[in-house]
């Protein structure tokens, strides 16, 4: 017997997963959301990417009814409408179907009629399935089963890294489907216990005491990182950072280079392939600035922002330009290949550099601001946002931003290796 539950919920998919990671983060989300860190440009881009991939997945099962509410206040109404559609023979597919059981609300990306039953599908904009995704699916199965929904299967849909675009996107080949219903069934008693435990956390009069640690970053960076870490003192407040200088200087370029250039790169990793012959998340070089004495006016700027099909030209040109220098210094979390490349990111990682600003990751922005106390540098992700806007007026801004990054990279290099 399918029942209706038009009441406001306590937990959702996101808050359940957050609670598994840290009970304090769950409590703060529900009771003190204003303490959240400012959402970075990169995080916003990831959320938008997930939304875009989810919408594209609708084409795998076209003609569905979109149940997504326009605002949180519509959740109870959408729960009722979703349950009614389950019994409507004219509805065979629902997008963002809304269910609620035991004060826990979930929105199922795809719900597809399968005879007298339904197949539930959760879409992920990734190449691989993590344990968190399995936990997410198990929670949804628990809620759907609690609502009395007859399920033939519960599946996770994700991007296939072997798919190569040739012509229009073929969604049947772009996505892979993996059944996780057996795992979800096995986890049901654990999910039920977790839901009751996390509901009790939300009901606490004060936030639970949870020490900071690796869980602040895994499996996701915590929204309250700045709040929880702000009072963690340094052992010696007079030392702005710590670093293994022996390990640092062991990596110093030898022999001492005389002719040095600095390089900033702008890469693009589209989840859904844009060009024929490319795969999901394939790296594409959109722009670079090489700064050095051999460059006209001190800088060479190359880009294919207006025509991504030219992205192969960048690495070939860059190799030619770099050949004129003894050393090319860069700062890149992604590997940059070349005999003359000196990647400060790898060097400082190997030297175990530490500073409170680096607790969320060793970005160029945080590294520069850690080395030069009081200095400010913009977020690198802003540049890719400007570039992908493909506004002719933004190209010059991209160039200026990459030149500014080169200045920051040069200052860090000279600080340690002058």
pLDDT in tens, 303-346: 999 899 999 999 999 999 999 999 999 999 888 877 789 999 99
Task: Please say if the pLDDT value at position 406 is more than 50.
Answer: yes
Q: Classify 245-417 by CATH class.
A: alpha beta
Structure tokens at 394: 């933004």
Spatial CA neighbour of 79 closest among 147, 151, 153, 141 = 147
pLDDT in tens, 254-309: 888 999 999 999 999 999 999 999 999 999 999 999 999 999 999 999 999 989 99
DSSP 294: T
Q: 240 pLDDT band (50/70/90 cuts)?
A: low
pLDDT in tens, 38-81: 877 777 778 888 889 999 999 999 999 999 999 988 999 999 99
Give CA–CA dist 242/357, Å, rounded.
12
Q: Is-same-fold flag (11-228; 245-417)?
A: no
Give CA–CA dist 39/41, Å, rounded.
7
Task: Spell out the domain ranges in the chain.
Answer: 11-228, 245-417
Task: Please say if the pLDDT value at position 405 is more than 60.
Answer: yes
Reported as type and span, the H/E element at residue 75 is helix 75-86
pLDDT in tens, 158-203: 999 999 999 999 999 999 999 999 999 999 999 999 999 999 999 9
Task: Please say if the pLDDT value at position 17 is more than 80.
Answer: yes
Structure tokens at 274: 């844009």
> Within 255-377, where are the H helices?
313-322, 344-350, 364-371
Structural fold of domain 11-228: Lambda Exonuclease; Chain A (3.90.320)
CB 120 within 8 Å of CB 110: yes
Q: Check residue 226 and give its pLDDT.
A: 81
Mean pLDDT of 14-28: 95
Cα atoms found within 13 Å of the Cα of residue 112, Cβ hemisphere only? 17
Q: Check residue 392 and give its pLDDT.
A: 61
pLDDT > 70: percent of the chain: 94
Contacts of 147 (CB under 8 A, 6+ apart): 2, 3, 5, 83, 99, 100, 101
Spatial CA neighbour of 216 closest among 205, 230, 206 = 230
CB 132 within 8 Å of CB 149: no
pLDDT > 90: percent of the chain: 74
Q: Check residue 396 and give its pLDDT.
A: 87
Asked whether the CA dihedral 212, 213, 219, 221 is positive or negative, the reply is positive
Give CA–CA dist 16/104, Å, rounded.
9
């Amino acid at each position: 017997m399918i029942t209706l539950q038009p009441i406001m919920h306590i937990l959702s998919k996101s808050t359940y997963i957050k609670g598994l990671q840290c009970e304090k983060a769950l409590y703060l989300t529900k009771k003190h959301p204003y303490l959240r860190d400012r959402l970075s440009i990169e995080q916003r881009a990831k959320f938008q990417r997930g939304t875009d991939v989810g919408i594209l997945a609708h084409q795998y099962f076209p003609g569905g009814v979109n149940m997504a509410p326009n605002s949180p206040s519509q959740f109870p109404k959408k729960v009722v409408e979703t349950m009614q559609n389950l019994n409507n023979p004219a509805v065979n597919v629902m997008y963002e179907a809304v269910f609620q059981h035991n004060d826990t609300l979930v929105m199922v990306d795809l719900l597809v009629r399968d005879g007298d039953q339904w197949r539930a599908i959760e879409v992920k904009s990734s190449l691989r399935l993590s344990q968190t995704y399995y936990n997410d699916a198990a929670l949804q199965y628990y809620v759907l089963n609690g609502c009395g929904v007859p399920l033939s299967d519960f599946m996770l849909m994700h991007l296939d890294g072997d798919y190569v675009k040739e012509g229009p996107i073929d969604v049947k080949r772009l996505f892979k489907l993996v059944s996780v219903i057996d795992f979800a069934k096995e986890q049901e008693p654990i999910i039920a216990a977790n839901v009751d435990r996390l509901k009790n956390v939300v009901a606490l009069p004060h936030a639970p005491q949870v020490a900071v640690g690796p869980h602040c970053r895994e499996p996701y960076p915590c929204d309250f990182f700045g709040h929880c870490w702000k009072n963690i003192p340094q052992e010696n407040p007079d030392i702005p950072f710590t670093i293994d200088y022996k390990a640092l200087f062991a990596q110093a370029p030898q022999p001492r280079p005389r002719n040095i250039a600095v390089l900033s790169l702008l890469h693009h990793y589209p989840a859904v392939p844009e060009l024929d012959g490319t795969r999901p998340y394939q790296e594409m070089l959109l722009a670079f600035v090489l700064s050095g004495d051999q460059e006209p006016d001190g800088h060479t700027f190359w880009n294919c922002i207006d025509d991504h099909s030219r992205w192969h030209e960048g690495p070939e040109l860059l190799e030619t330009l770099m050949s004129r220098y003894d050393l090319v210094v860069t700062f890149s979390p992604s590997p940059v290949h070349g005999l003359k490349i000196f990647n400060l990111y790898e060097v400082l990682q190997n030297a175990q550099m530490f500073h409170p600003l680096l607790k969320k990751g060793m970005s160029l922005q945080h590294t520069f601001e850690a080395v030069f106390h009081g200095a400010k540098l913009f977020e690198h992700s802003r540049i890719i946002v400007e570039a992908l806007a493909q506004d002719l007026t933004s190209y010059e801004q991209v160039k200026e931003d990459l030149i500014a990054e080169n200045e920051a990279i040069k200052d860090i290099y000279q600080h340690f290796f002058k």
